[in-house]
Amino acid sequence: MKYFAILLFFAILFSIIPQSDALIVSHTPEELYEIYDIIVFGEILDYVDVGTNSHYDVKVIQYMKNAQPDDVIQVIGSGVHHEGVWVEDSTIFEIGERAVLYIENNDNSLRIGPYSFSTQLDIVNAYWYYPYRWIVILAVAIAVIGFLVWRKRK
């Protein structure tokens, strides 16, 4: 019983505490403005996953740094749209999503930086997206059911 209570405590603890390991260095908005070549506020029109990257067509709503003549630009982001695959610095956006994009111009290839962000953030879905959280919740549910069955037999 003592070991079960300890297991239950840690299972609940790990299901409540958000898990994160930050590898990205934080920057102020002023530093980001200096680091990136182009900054835009735009809407994702389309994307194609190619290898480990996503190629996006972005309708520019407003250039915030280094305006270009094009209203639609093609940019490359790291990460792909596979279910359950997520890397910390992935820049994954959905069609119709509006985002602020920090863009590097590398040899005429526009790459989205990891500090880019959606302006349509869904906190609830982001919290429950963490894939291992469901495993912990399932383990806690099984432990509670096992405990109730064990108590009933006594």
Q: What is the pLDDT of residues 75-128, one digit of tens each?
A: 999 888 765 556 666 788 889 999 999 999 988 899 999 889 888 765 545 555
Q: What is the pLDDT of residues 28-84, one digit of tens each?
A: 889 999 999 999 999 999 999 888 889 999 999 999 999 999 999 999 998 887 655
- pLDDT over threshold 90, residue 149: no
- pLDDT over threshold 80, residue 137: no
Architecture of the domain spanning 23-122: Beta Barrel (2.40)
Question: Considering the entire predicted model, what is its pTM?
Answer: 0.64
**How far is 95 from 126, CA to CA, in rounded Å?**
17
Which one, of 107, 109, 56, lies nearest residue 79 by Cα?
56
pLDDT at 144: 86
Tokens of 122: 């869904």
pLDDT at 71: 95
The full set of domain ranges for the chain reads 1-19+130-154, 23-122
